[in-house]
Structure 1
Amino acid sequence: MSNRPEWLQPSRSIYSKQYGIIQVSAIIGDNLYFRKGIISQTIFNWEEEIKKGNLSQIQHTPTSKSLIYQEIATEIEGRNKLSYCDVIPEQAANLEQIPDSMHSAVNNVLKQLGINQLYSHQIEAWEAYNQGNHIILETPTSSGKSISFLLPVIHECFKGNSCIIFFNLKALAFDQEEKIREFVNLLPESIRPAILNINGDTPSQERKKLYTHKPSIICVTPDVWHHELNNYQFDNYNFVETLRKVSIIVIDELHFYSGIFGANFALLNRRTQLIIEQAGGNLSQLKYIYASATINNSQQIAQKISSRRENFTVISQSGARKAQTTFISLKPQNSVLYTTAQIAALLVSKDVVGICFCDSRETVKSLTQTIRKILVENGLPHLKNTISAFYANLKNNQRRKIIADIKSGDVKFIVSTSALEAGLDLGCIDAVLVCKYPGSILSFRQRAGRAGRKEEGLIVFIPSRQSILDSYYSNHPERLLTDPPEVINFNPNFENLLQAHILACCKESRPTINQIAKHFGQGGVAIANQLLEDKKLVYSFNNKLACARHLGYIHGDIKIRGSRSNNIDYINTSTGEEFEQSAVNSALREVYPDAIYIAQDFDGNPVWYRSLELKIKEGQAFLKPTSQTNLFTRPQGAIRFEEVKTTGEEKLIQLPRGVIKLTPKICNISESIFGYKLYNRESRWTCPNRDCRNHNQSLASKLENCSICNSQLTERDIIQLVEELPYKEALTTSYSTSCLEVEIDLQATNLFKSKVEQIRSIIKNQKYISREERELFEYKETDICIHSLAHQLMLALPLVEHGASSKDVDFILHEEPSQPNLVGYFFDTVEGGTGMCDTLFQYLEKAISKARFLVENCPCKHGCSNCTVIYRCPDDNTAISKQVGLSILQDLIQQQVQTF
């Protein structure tokens, strides 16, 4: 080996043109072996590679961001934390000539902006517009979706029409308005449309003055537009004329419109269409353009929002250039927060501009401080002020300053909540840290899409050891970029929501009953007739429906994003920060006064709190941090169900023996908590013999056998009731919501019993029976089966629908002595519904498949909070078995689901 260079030695870092910076593992003969994370690789004939210049000393590494990223990967590898490293090649732009059919003034503006050609997907959108189609743009972040919808919008304005562009966040509306204004201001003044930013910062009376008889581009959020439509009744000529001319409605960030937000937005669009019709507009010519991240059911959601069924063009192939991206995945970490802070500090020290997303303001602030502390410890105190926290509650001037500072280079790293996940223009970001799996493939790609918009990008996935999904994607990181995304879903036909929006439209535009039928369907007609009977609607002239005056300002009763009264913020009394949020009924069972509540910190470790006060009307619960304790509490309460009506066709699942029937319903639910029990859990070595005096007594483990009956000692959790504490006055909440009734016939019940008996027979032969296994003998077989299955399906729903949470839905077994079949109910956890029961019903097969995936991949033995246990369970997680649930899921996955 005399001809081997001194720099080419095992454990040394070298530069490879093909692989970047690598660390040599061994050199055997002509072969050089190295590792990238957990993958071993080989370079054949290393001498020849050196002669060709493909291998060299690290000092001779060409300077580029991509090689800095390789250096970072090598440093992470040196800390034994690297699991995977891959370089995703650059995707060249697919450009086409600007069509002759485009207005010459627009062509001139594009050239002034340095755009001499358009991406292929922008051309495709233009052609779809000219064909009169609705358009769904599903190209990646920073692919030029804004230009794609702006070109048709401006051409409609040239025709004398107006357009509405919906942005889901006010900050996004401001950002996009600036980009639109930059484009429009380059047009000749004589044909330049007005740009109206309709936002809640401008008083209502001043907003009325913004409208003009000129063609206009209205930039607005759904929240503000909901109230803005009330102006129609006041004969504001310019407002009415603007609405009459609306020919395109653009909906940006379509993937955010799920759950109650999506349902309200769909109904808001029906009201908008009705008003356009009332103003004399031509609804047959009204077109919709949607910009969205890739979701599994974009056309279905677009149809729900627009009430259109045909002529949709879905554009998902991007022609935009995508810079080369380095994708790094770490091994699962115990301390995600500290590891994330270390990597962020490393990026900043190498002049890499980055961003990291977190789930709460509390975590954002904690991570920001930790990064600054590490920079000081590393001798870089001058960089600590280049780290900035970003979250929704910042004032507008603060938000704008941070965004300006990162664009100018004064800020090098942003720690943000999801407030920056939407399409704000941050093209200067090089690197994205994704700490922990963010709950959905869609969210991961939205966050990762921030990396390297202009130059080479870096994505770093930092998984937590506490999560099944983190561990799974740590072992299969490439699937984060290839797995299909989740669906989004909502139910716009829930009666309470329909009623509120029908009242609003009758206040705004006084429609006829035929117009109600056209825009809200026969369900809307039935609701309108009931409102007439209840004197909430009255007939005015020409058989038009008007809202009764005594109802006042009914628009205030509709919370577009869901009512705050349906949510409780969990506030840490030591910091004053909100660290969690929950629906009222979940909060009733979790943070009732004096409850001991266990949350998780950023790294997934348990943190204990004591609930000091629950204010339901104010939407707040105050919890004081406390030390780890063996004490725990359980609420004492009751849930009452009252079925209101069946809302759809039932589904039948044919089992090997018997049938499960699922029926969508609306139910009134009343839930009360009238006290709690305080328990102590203590782990003891004890005698397992129930007939022995030493049974459950604390004995020394060194004895090995009981001194009385000679049984082998076992370690068991002994739970003892400390005290039972009633409240002077019960805490109660009542609401109407969507439910899914689950009915299991006698044959299926017998099948379930046989499954439990099979598992029981195996357990009986064991020498030691755990507490979890003993529960299989303490509860009815059918209760164990249905309860375990229900929990596993609820925990899988976030894998089915983007933005879903297992807190959005609950399940309860319903005892009915006269009913031969077993019955349970899934139910949405807020007034008006979250859409989760509808998602479970619509995507049942997918939910079953995802539930099996979760349970099979969870390393726990008997069930944990990742796969089977839900701590807020109304039945206190009794009659639960991971193994039984999995056995049923394996049966269900092979069965045909039939709709009747």
Structure 2
Amino acid sequence: MKSPAQPQRPSPESGGPRRTRSQRSVPELEALLRSDPELAPRFSHWERVAARAERSRPLPESLDPRLRTLLEARGQARLYEHQARAIELALEGRDVLIATPTASGKTLCYVAPILQRLLETRGDARAIALFPTKALSQDQSAGLNTLIAALGEPWHSFTYDGDTPPSVRRTLRDDGHIVLTNPWMLHAGILPNHAKWSELFANLRTIVIDEVHTLSGVFGSSVANVLRRLLRIAEHYGSRPQFVLCSATLRDAAAHAKRLTGRDVAVVDEDGSPSGERVFGVYNPPMLDPVAGLRANALEEARRLATHLCGPSRQVIFFCQRRTSVEVLTRYLKESARELGLEPDEIRGYRGGYLPLHRREIEEGLRAGTVKVVVSTNALELGIDIGRLDVAVLVGYPGSQASFWQRAGRVGRRGQPSLTVLIARSDPIDQYLSTNPDYLFRAPRERLGLDPDNLVILSEQVKCASFELPFRDEELARKGFGGAPHLADILDYLAGQSNLLLRRGDTWHWMADAYPAQDVPLSSGGPDNVLVLDVETKKAIGEIDREGSLTTVHEGAIYQVQGETWKVERFDYENRRAYVRAVESDYFTEAEVDTTLKVLRLERHARRPRAGGGEDYGLYAGEVHVTTVATQYKKIRFYTRENVGADEIHLPPETYLTEAATLALDPALAQQVGLDKGSDAGGLRGVAELIQGLVPLFVRVDPGDVGVLAELRHPHFERPTLTIFDRIPDGVGLSERIFLVHRDVLRAALGLVERCPCRMG
């Protein structure tokens, strides 16, 4: 959906508001915020990171002379120290992990070795590069093809994803030298059809995995097993590829890489790239209701800050947590564009669900500097080249330190000074960070949770591997498939109980008609998307994941794209189609979801005894049955956030079995501290939300991996309970880790309540 052509806008030099705003440098913006009588008191913390000088060295001697000439011609006669070291290790054949901040030049660390192998083998070598998003793979493909063209070689490098035309897919299978794809396509598209990709696997020399810090939780554990399948197929065709991994700064980087790949890797984590001075501000919105602890809405405060931060000679990025927030803030900023000294088409939203051409247009506008303000979800958090941005505004803590630093790293590129503002929401974790900023700036990074040997995930992936190649006793004896435990038991179960495998002699053969990978998701959401169609033209205007569709494109919902509003007239749930009509709406919609849990089995129990007998609480871990249904939606007026109506949602419930950790409180204790007070036991629900918000500080979980439920009288325990459950069918061990660290979480919750400025904590 391309914006209509705009009349030529005045330059900043021509006077008026554009000139006034263009004159503020990043240091002047900081001074303005610090001195503003209204805004300055709301900044609870300022942090300054000094500029860092470049540390570089000459190109490695082991580089092919043709590559050296090419890099020198591009002004890269010297490399940052970490680049040179990583390339040297890769050319020695080592598995390497480069763990340095955003914009430190990690791309060259894998591009140079790939091109070197192609030059050495006269074009026979092959490479697979995995990226977490389509946009990132497209961005890297363009850069690779530029280098290949400069070398004058007839090599093919293309992306392989859902947007790839059939003709290009055939070319990649037959003659693709570098295949850039994502874990989902590798899992369900390439590996099950490996016979069609035999040339790729027989000559596979390099596997690149970018943004390794995003591979954690359920998704990361699944991807680790997809890599086991990849290496198994490569071995079948006679190749043993090396890994080149790239990541943001990690805690225990080597251990995480080994869990992911099954191999010991050499870690390069000393950043040699230059960095301009970086200034961080933590902004806590004003308190509106001291009794309830309610603060001003973070989106409204972002709009307020935009009047100081945005301008025609700066590029500013706003990060929001939800798609609805992206669209609402985009609308606000477009409608106040003149006040910002901008034109409406210089302000764009960006999120998952936009059509490919729409995304590419926005990315190009950012690189060219014609887009001055972009409002994004985490879709622009990763390493897509979007030019040099100056200011980042994070509307809420993104849930992990890695994401916080990735988003902050999008600004100040090429050694320029930068400003990052974190706007704290009323959420417990945001309020904790506003009073404990050392967690952001001085505490060690979180450990990433990764468990490729989780029995549920492993069993599903073994099914996929069995379809691709039969398992043999010899493979089990030498601890194949990454040395996965219980592999023989899983194979016997699939043969004896599930009747999916047939064992003959020393071999397990796949014998079912089903194609397993298509039914095995890599995460809770999976790639099962809903297409959003204009009811009049039948043209697609966007897409959304299946889980998100239940609360976003139900009938009556307002669907938003770039500040424009569309009303959902029909949602074909079975066929994954939502039909919308363009409308002028002065409200947006927010859906409510109801979740119930039924205890099936309890496996672990801990307790906190009370002096004099009894216990303050018991902690239980076990299996539960979860039922989730979207119940109703509210109509929220833009700007005022006034609730102007509500209606019911009529969609079938979703049910699954999973694992949970339940904190069962002594009823007398709950009454004593007032957790039974408020409508619908609001005090207890508040504690549940507080604990859920703090869990990511102690257990690295991905968004959507865990849920929380508070019940004043649980039907099983007959006590007030707080339950944290895996939102993944069958569970993957997150609740078990929460069980182990629950005392740390509770201590942090107590500390936050004690420091809370609202009257009742």
The two structures have a TM-score, normalised by structure 2, of: 0.75
Given that 2:456 and 2:732 are in contact with CA atoms closer than 8 Å, whether structure 1 keeps it comes out as no
Does residue 397 of structure 1 match 2:357? Answer: yes
> Which of 102, 111, 133 pairs up with 2:63?
102
Q: Is this contact kept in 2: 1:360–1:417, CA < 8 A? A: yes
1:168 paired with 2:132, answer: yes
Secondary structure in 2 matching 1:210? helix
Q: Relative to structure 1, is the Cα distance of residues 206 and 383 closer, same or farther in structure 2, using a 3 angstrom cutoff?
A: closer
Cα 1:365/1:614, change in 2 over 3 Å: closer
CA distance in 1, matches of 2:436, 2:199: 56
Query: 2:151 — aligned with what?
Result: 187
Q: In the alignment, is residue 772 of structure 1 matched against residue 680 of structure 2?
A: no
User: Equivalent residues in 2 for 1:335-346 (5 A)?
Assistant: 335-346=297-308
1:376 pairs with 2:297: no
Aligned to 1:424: 384
Q: Secondary structure at the match of 1:808?
A: strand
The equivalences for 1:343-492 within 5 A come to 343-349=305-311, 351-377=313-339, 380=341, 383-461=343-421, 463-464=423-424, 466-474=426-434, 480-492=440-452
Which aligned pairs between 1:281-300 and structure 2 lie closer than 5 A? 281-282=239-240, 286-300=241-255
Structure of greater Rg: 1
- Alignment-derived partner of residue 290 in structure 2: none
Corresponding residue to 2:269 among 299, 307, 316: 316
Q: What letter is aligned with 1:317?
A: E
Structure of greater relative contact order (alpha carbons < 8 Å, 6+ residues apart):
2
Contact 2:690 2:749 (C-alpha < 8 Å) held by counterparts: yes
Q: Aligned AA for 2:71?
A: L
Any idea what the Cα deviations from partners look like across 1:345-377, whole Å, max 9, x if unmatched? 444435211111122333223222322333335
Bigger Cα displacement from structure 2, 426-435 vs 554-563: 554-563
Give per-residue Cα distances to partners, 1:48-106, cap 9 Å, x unaligned. Answer: xxxxxxxxxxxxxx988344434543674576566355653321011122222222222
Structure 2 counterpart of 1:129:
90
Aligned amino acid, residue 303 of structure 2? A
Letter in 1 for 2:275: K
Post-superposition Cα deviations, 1:7-27, rounded to whole Å, max 9, x if no partner, equal xxxxxxxxxxxxxxxxxxxxx
Partner secondary structure for residue 397 of structure 2: coil
Work out which of the residue numbers 480, 483, 488 in structure 2 matches 1:525. Answer: 488
Count of residues in correspondence between the two structures: 684
Cα deviation code 1:718-776 (max 9, x no counterpart): xxxxxxxxx9x99765423234477x9xxxx9xx689679x58xx9xxxxxx9729999
Closer/same/farther in 2, CA of residues 206 and 423 from structure 1, 3 Å limit = closer
TM-score (norm 1): 0.64
Specify the code of the residue in structure 2 equivalent to 1:736.
L
Cα pair distance change 1:241/1:841, threshold 3 Å: farther
Q: Which residue of structure 2 aligns with residue 794 of structure 1?
A: 692
Cα contact 2:95–2:266 (8 A) shared by 1: yes
How far 1:289 sits from its partner (Å)?
2.6
Q: Shift in Å at residue 200 of structure 1?
A: 2.2
Match in the other structure for 1:545: 508
The residue correspondences of 1:359-758 to structure 2 (distance < 5 A) are: 359-377=321-339, 380=341, 383-461=343-421, 463-464=423-424, 466-474=426-434, 480-515=440-475, 518-519=480-481, 521-534=484-497, 536-539=499-502, 543-551=506-514, 553-563=515-525, 639-643=597-601, 667=623, 669=625, 671=627, 733-740=654-661
Residue 51 of structure 2: aligned partner = 90
C-alpha contact (below 8 Å) 1:361/1:578 kept by paired residues: no
Q: Which residue of 2 aligns with 1:33?
A: none
Moved more, 88-97 or 66-75: 66-75
CA RMSD, aligned part only? 5.0
Gap change, CA 1:211 and 1:69, over 3 Å in 2: same
SS of the equivalent of 2:406 reads helix
Residue by residue, what CA displacement relative to the aligned partner does 1:675-717 show, whole Å, maximum 9, x if unpaired?
A: 99xxxxxxxxxxxxxxxxxxxxxxxxxxxxxxxxxxxxxxxxx
Deviations 1:185-234 (A, max 9, x none): 33363xx75424222223568524423578x332111111112335546x
C-alpha distance 616-302 of structure 1, shift in aligned 2 (>3 A): farther
Unaligned segments of structure 1, at least 5 residues: 1-61, 571-575, 598-610, 677-726, 764-769, 777-783, 864-900
1:808 pairs, out of 707, 711, 727, with 707
Q: Which runs of 5+ in 2 are unaligned?
A: 1-21, 287-295, 533-539, 558-567, 580-584, 633-648
Q: Contact 2:282–2:424 (CA<8 Å) still a contact in 1?
A: no
Task: Give distance in 2, aligned partners of 1:427 and 1:452.
Answer: 10
Within-5 A mapping of 1:144-163: 144-160=105-121, 161-163=125-127
Q: How do 1:24-39 and structure 2 match up within 5 A?
A: none
Partner of 1:112: 73
Rate the CA distance shift 1:502–1:180 in 2: closer, same or farther, 3 A.
same
| AA at the equivalent of 2:489 | A
SS in 2 for 1:669: strand
Alpha carbons 2:160, 2:179 under 8 Å: kept: yes
Structure 1 residue 174, shift from structure 2 partner: 0.6
CA contact (8 A) 1:157 1:163 kept: no
* Shift in CA distance, 196/591, structure 1 to aligned 2, threshold 3 Å: closer
CA spacing shift, 1:829–1:404, aligned 2, 3 Å: closer
CA distance in 2, matches of 1:331, 1:317: 34
Q: Which whole-Å CA distance do the structure 2 matches of 1:614 and 1:211 have between them?
A: 37
Task: Give 3-state SS (helix, strand or coil) of 2:374's partner.
Answer: strand
Percent identity over the alignment is 22
Secondary structure at 2:343 match in 1: helix
